[in-house]
C-alpha cells in the first residue's frame, strides 16, 4: 500500500495535504478581463461607464455623419419614482424596468403581467409595419464608423447591390454602418428599414430610413430582425453586433431557422474571433466542425451579396419542393 501523504497544518491550525493550497479563500480581489483587480463597487461603476461610453460612440457616429438633427447632449435622468436597484442615474427604459429585480409594486401598471400587454402591442406594431417584407437582409455594425471609413463605403455598396437584387435592407436605424447600409438601399431604390431601440439617451434615426419601427424591448426587436430577414451581414462592431451574430448562430444550431447565411464582413477584424473559435471552442469540442461552415468571411461586397442571393434562391426552391410534396403554399423556409 502506498504511504499516505503527510498532512501539514497552517498557522491557523487548518489542515492541508502535502504542500497544497490553504483551505481559507484568497483575500485578493478577482481580475476582470481587462486584467484589473475588481470588486462589486468597481463592477457597478464599470457598468455606468459602459453606458456613458456607448453614448459617446453613438454621438461620434452622428457627428461624423453630419446628417442627423441636433439632439440634447445628455443622458436622460432617472425619475424620482423609478424603482431601481443599483446606483445608476440614467433614466430607466422599459427594458430596464422589465429586467430589474422584482419587488413590491403599488401601481398595478408597473407589474410584469401588465407589462406583457405592452410587449404584445409592440409585437403587433412590428408585425403590422414589416409584414410586407418578403426579401429582407439585416446588416449590423458599429455606430461609430465614419463616412470616410472603408467599412462604411463597403456597407453602402453591399446595401446597394442587395437592393438592386430586390432585397429590403434592415438596420438598427442609427449612424455608422447602419446609416451606410440604409444609404445603399436608398441608392438602389429599395425599401430601407430602421428598427430603433429605446436607450437612456437620445440617438435619432439616420435620414436614409424610409420605414421606422421604434422598439422599447430588445427581445421584440431581435425577433423582427430574424423573422423578416433571409440573412445577416455582420460588419465590425461591438457587443451589440456580437449579440446579433451569436443569436443567429444559436438559432441555426438549434434548428429554429435554416438556410440562413451569416456573413462576417472584414476578414482582418474577424480573424481573431475565427482563430479562437477554431483553436479553442472547436478544438475542445464545444461546437462541431460543421458549425464553422455557418459563417462566410469576406471583404468583397459582391461576394457578400451573391452569398445572400444564392441562399435566398435555395430557400425558395426548398419551400416550393415542400409545397409540391405537401400541397401547401410556399413560405420562406427559415420562418
What tens digit of pLDDT does each residue of 103-131 get? 555 555 557 777 888 899 999 999 999 99
Higher pLDDT: 99 or 122? It is: 122
SS3 134: coil
State how far the Cα of 120 lies from the Cα of 116, in Å rounded to an integer: 6
User: Over the Cα atoms of the chain, what is R_g?
Assistant: 24
Is pTM, for the whole model, over 0.85? no
Check: CATH 3.40.50.450 for 119-326? yes
Which region among 203-212, 213-222, 325-334 has the lowest average model confidence (pLDDT)?
A: 325-334
Per cent of the chain over pLDDT 70 is 79
**Phi, psi dihedral angles at 289 (to 5 degrees):** -55, -40
Residue bearing the bigger pLDDT, 3 or 324 = 324
218 class by beta-carbon count within 10 Å (0-12 exposed, 13-18 middle, 19+ buried): middle
pLDDT given at position 22: 53
pLDDT, tens digit, 9 for 90 and up, residues 275-296? 999 999 999 999 999 999 999 9
Q: How crowded is the C-beta side of 255, counted as CA atoms within 13 Å?
A: 0
Helix (H, G, I), strand (E, B) or coil at 242: helix
Helix H or strand E encompassing 98: helix 94-99
Amino acid at each position: 500500500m502506498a504511504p499516505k501523504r503527510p498532512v501539514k497544518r497552517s498557522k491557523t491550525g487548518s489542515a492541508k495535504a502535502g504542500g497544497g493550497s490553504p483551505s481559507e479563500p484568497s483575500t485578493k480581489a478577482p481580475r476582470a478581463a481587462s486584467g484589473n483587480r475588481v470588486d462589486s463597487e468597481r463592477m457597478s461603476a464599470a457598468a455606468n461607464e459602459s453606458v456613458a461610453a456607448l453614448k459617446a460612440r453613438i454621438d461620434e457616429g452622428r457627428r461624423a455623419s453630419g446628417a442627423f438633427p441636433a439632439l440634447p447632449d445628455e443622458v436622460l435622468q432617472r425619475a424620482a419614482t423609478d424603482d431601481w436597484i443599483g446606483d445608476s442615474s440614467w433614466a430607466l427604459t422599459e427594458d430596464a424596468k422589465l429586467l430589474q429585480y422584482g419587488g413590491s409594486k403599488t401601481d398595478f401598471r408597473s407589474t410584469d403581467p401588465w407589462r406583457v400587454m405592452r410587449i404584445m402591442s409592440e409585437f403587433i406594431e412590428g408585425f403590422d409595419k414589416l409584414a410586407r417584407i418578403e426579401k429582407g437582409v439585416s446588416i449590423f455594425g458599429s455606430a461609430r464608423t465614419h463616412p470616410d471609413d472603408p467599412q462604411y463605403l463597403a456597407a453602402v455598396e453591399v446595401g446597394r447591390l442587395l437592393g438592386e437584387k430586390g432585397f429590403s435592407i434592415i438596420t438598427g436605424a442609427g449612424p455608422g454602418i447602419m446609416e451606410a447600409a440604409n444609404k445603399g438601399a436608398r441608392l438602389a431604390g429599395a425599401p430601407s428599414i430602421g428598427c430603433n431601440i429605446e436607450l437612456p439617451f437620445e440617438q435619432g434615426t439616420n435620414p436614409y430610413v424610409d420605414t421606422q419601427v421604434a422598439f422599447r424591448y430588445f427581445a421584440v426587436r431581435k425577433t423582427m430582425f430574424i423573422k423578416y430577414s433571409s440573412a445577416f451581414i455582420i460588419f465590425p462592431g461591438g457587443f451589440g453586433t456580437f449579440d446579433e451574430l451569436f443569436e443567429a448562430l444559436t438559432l441555426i444550431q438549434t434548428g429554429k431557422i435554416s438556410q440562413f447565411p451569416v456573413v462576417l464582413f472584414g476578414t482582418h477584424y474577424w480573424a481573431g474571433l475565427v482563430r479562437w473559435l477554431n483553436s479553442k471552442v472547436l478544438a475542445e469540442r464545444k461546437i462541431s466542425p460543421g458549425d464553422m461552415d455557418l459563417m462566410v468571411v469576406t471583404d468583397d461586397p459582391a461576394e457578400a451579396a451573391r452569398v445572400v442571393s444564392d441562399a435566398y434562391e435555395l430557400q425558395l426552391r426548398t419551400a416550393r419542393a415542400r409545397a409540391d410534396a405537401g400541397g401547401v403554399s410556399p413560405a420562406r423556409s427559415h420562418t
